Amino acid sequence: MRSIVIDDDVIRELAIEQAVCVRPVMRRVTDRATGEVTTVPIRCGVTRDSVCPSCAAKARRLRMTQCAEGWHTDAEPAVPEHERADEQSVGTLDDESAETEADEPRQTRSTRRRADAPDLPTRPTDPRTIGRVFTTPDGKTYRPSMFVTLTLPSYGKVRPHLGVPVDPARYDYRRAALDALHFPKLLDRWVQNLRRCAGYQCQYFGAVEAQRRLAPHFHAAIRGAIPRATVREVTRATYLQLWWPPMGDPVYVRRVPIWADEQYRDPNTGAALPTWDEAIAALDDDPDARPAHVMRLGQQVDVKGILGGTPDADRTVRYLTKYLTKAVAETYADDQGDDSAYEAHIDRLHEHVRWLPCSKECANWLRFGVQPHDAGPGLVPGQCASKAHDRDHLGVGGRRVLVSRRWSGKTLTEHKADRAAVVRAALEAAGIEPPAANRMAAETLHQDGRPRFVWDDVPLSQYDYGRVVMATVIEARRWRAQYDRAKELLAGTDPPVDNDSATASVRARSMRPALTEGI
């Protein structure tokens, strides 16, 4: 009997249909107790749809669950005390970053606000993070939250619905590139200012996306209600001054500095370039120094009130996470690359993003005659390792999802474990034994006290892609059939996990693929 050979492309499409990773990382697991050797495929975990649609969709569903769970909660999330202290003093955009060097207080420079910026209103702040409860005249109560969209200012006229400049020669690509590279710093300042004016420690789940003109903008779900006038006033009053060495005109273009005697030197004279600290000290000593770049938000601010548990809330969660699986440059680009005007617009912006510094450690500082902070050998202008300089990212090199520390009281890993727990509980309640959660875990010890299971990489050339992915597809279908059977057996009974909340509808839609993701 002749065996049937299935093309790898067909298997890939089948894997996408079944939410199975199309580019798994292979590991060889040796059981030291039995000597058995097993090859295990592990999800690649990328968040780009163009690379692995299955893993990207999984990441988006997880973010949807995280967003919905913290948005309209009526109870203070449980957060360790040391994290609360950190947040009060830093107020940063995510749960791991620190205050940016652009916001560090300077000893010799005035901290007075710019004369061309309106004053920032302030008010006493309650320690709560949940929103206020409002009561209608007929006695009904509700706790509204908000959906806010922030943009960057104009860099020149663009063609409506096309996103390309009317006159590329007059479009300020340099400012657009700098604003994109440092957009998270400006958002960080906006959040700090908003918390001073909101009257409570407002929490947010935000996504950085690209407008059609390729400028990043910010969608944010904010827990609780803040007057629209306050949000707009804070936005107008927010700015960021980047106190960096001058980076207007490049010093080294054709010849680049050379590394000698543990520092970078002029390729012609051999003189050492000023270090980062020396360049910053020169700014401090110059009473006429001006910031290298000043950023402000655009005038367009969209503020919308949202009630939890409504179809509008579900739609907004989906909208907020809509483009998280796409790179900035591919969000609106033609899949076939046929739009020559738009591709040229991307290329012009990328040319500036490539050469401008993204941080004080950026190799591009050599182009402007300054040694980067903690410089070492091998740095080449235009070849900084940060993905912010890539054509795909166009300056947006950090996290696309920005979440405050007290949003849901859980890490993303804990949200993932919750999704798996729902499926596992359903299987157990129906009398179906789920796969062991810690099977072949590296933490499992042998009787000699060392790990029982030893994990090793498997070179790509040593496994059959089609066979491995097809086996994973078959296993995923089997697990899903078990889950469907469990739901049938439990029909009419109480759910294994309490989902009676404003997040239930979003979570229900995202639970079906969870069986192949978390157990």
Q: Cα-flanking dihedrals φ and ψ of residue 284, to 5°?
A: -65, -30
Report whether 296 contacts 238 (CB < 8 A): yes
The helix (H) or strand (E) run that includes residue 282 is helix 276-285
Residue pLDDT, tens place only, 284-322 = 889 889 999 999 999 999 999 999 989 999 999 999 999
Instruction: Say if pTM beats, i.e. exceeds, 0.85.
Output: no
Kindly give, in sequence order, each residue whose CB lies less than 8 Å from that of residue 269, ignoring residues fewer than 6 positions away: none
pLDDT along the chain (519 residues), means of 10: 68 90 89 86 90 94 94 82 42 36 46 73 86 87 93 95 94 97 95 92 95 96 94 94 94 94 95 96 90 94 93 95 93 77 95 97 97 95 95 92 91 82 75 65 78 82 77 86 80 49 46 44
Give the separation between CA 456 and CA 360, rounded to whole angstroms. 38
- Give the bridge partners for 195, in sequence order: none
Where are the strands (E) in 151-279, listed by range? 204-210, 216-222, 239-242, 258-260, 263-265
- Give the bridge partners for 217, in sequence order: 209
Residue 319 CB: number of other CB atoms within 10 A?
A: 12
Residue pLDDT, tens place only, 182-196 = 999 999 999 999 999
What pLDDT sits at residue 92? 37
Q: Any idea what the Cα angle at residue 353 is, between residues 352 and 358, rounded to 5°?
A: 130
Question: Minimal CA–CA distance to 381: which of 371, 373, 391?
Answer: 371
What pLDDT sits at residue 463? 65
Q: Cα-flanking dihedrals φ and ψ of residue 204, to 5°?
A: -145, 155
What pLDDT sits at residue 310? 92
What pLDDT sits at residue 204? 96
Give the separation between CA 293 and CA 245, rounded to whole angstroms. 10
